A = this chain, B = another copy of it.
Amino acid sequence: MKHFLQNFLLYSIGIFNEFFLEYSTASITYFLPNSTFPLFTSWMAMSKSSYMRNFAFTAINNLFYMLRIKAFMLLNVILLESALETVPDEILDHPSVKNNAKRRRKEPKSTILDVSIHYHAMRNLKEKEKRGRPDIIHSAMVLLLTDPVVKVNLYIHTINSLLIKVNSDIRPPKNYERFIGLMEQLFEYGKVPPESDTPLIEITKCTLDDLLSKYKMVLLTEKGERKTPDYLCNLGEEWIIGLGGFPHGDFNEQIYKKASERISISDHVLETQGVICRIMGSCNQLVGWP
């Protein structure tokens, strides 16, 4: 019954807001100084229940609309067991690896493993169905880091347990070849650009456990409890959203255990870009599609 009453309240607020926005905004402009802005965001962060958060978002969104302030949202995201690595030692001598390295004017061990190039070489590789798909990380980065409203604090955990931190100021290259070049540089020098003190991408010295001592992780998995994606937008800054960065198969059991919560956002099996689109769409909808 509590849920029903909460919804009743939310819908009533909704009716009021619709009415208010429809008939009142024309005459209201900037009657509050911008300095009240942090006040409201901290109120939002303080609200622990999802109901209060929803209420806060709606209120702030309408306030923003009235004041013509552009709304924003911040998410913490980690791509887990990402299929991103340099060519492993076992297959360095394979002709497809050597030819590709020669064409790129690199040492074979400095090139990125890619199943579309190294298909035959990868035949006997351990867990091969989860490896060699840098394109997944590329499209995820482009989708997560180009939204003007939803800003993402992004980490990439690789299949080899490296933890990569991506600066949210990065403009990820849209071109795949350029992205591969960037990743080759990252694995060779540990950061991009190699000489920078505030790099755009960096291989950290932390482990996944170190990161998860700072955040609680909500893992997106088909086996999780069914929720709608707006649940993820409302979680708050102590949470990090864990998405699979691999094409097929399932999370390692260790990853399952590390998660504080396991949820599923669809009845369908979604690909990584589909999951990200739903999260970004849902968060944008919550702040009124600014």
Residues of chain A having any CB pair with chain B under 8 Å: 3-4, 7-8, 11-12, 14-15, 18-19, 22-23, 70, 103, 114, 116, 133, 135-136, 139, 142-143, 146-149, 174-178, 228-229, 265-271, 273-274, 276-278, 280-282, 284-285, 288-290
Contact = CB atoms under 8 A, between A and B. Distances in A.
Contact of A8 (B15, B270, B278, B288): B15
Given A143-B273, A143-B277, A148-B268, A289 B15 contact: no
A-B interface, 7 closest residue pairs, ranked by CB to CB distance from nearest? A281-B281, A176-B176, A148-B268, A116-B175, A277-B277, A11-B11, A228-B289
A7 B3 contact: no
Given A11-B14, A70-B268, A281-B281, 4 more contacts: A139-B139, A175-B176, A278-B289, A280-B281
Contacts of A136: 174
Contacts of A70: 267-268
A135 B175 contact: yes
A139 B146 CA distance: 13
Copies in the complex: 2
A289 B277 CA distance: 12
Contacts of A147: 274, 277
Given A116-B177, A148-B268, A289-B228, A15 B22 contact: no
A148 B147 CA distance: 23
A284 B289 contact: no
29 contacts: A3-B18, A3-B22, A4-B15, A7-B18, A8-B15, A11-B12, A114-B175, A135-B174, A135-B175, A135-B176, A139-B142, A142-B273, A143-B277, A146-B271, A146-B273, A147-B274, A148-B269, A148-B274, A149-B268, A176-B176, A266-B289, A266-B290, A267-B290, A268-B290, A277-B277, A277-B281, A281-B282, A281-B284, A285-B285
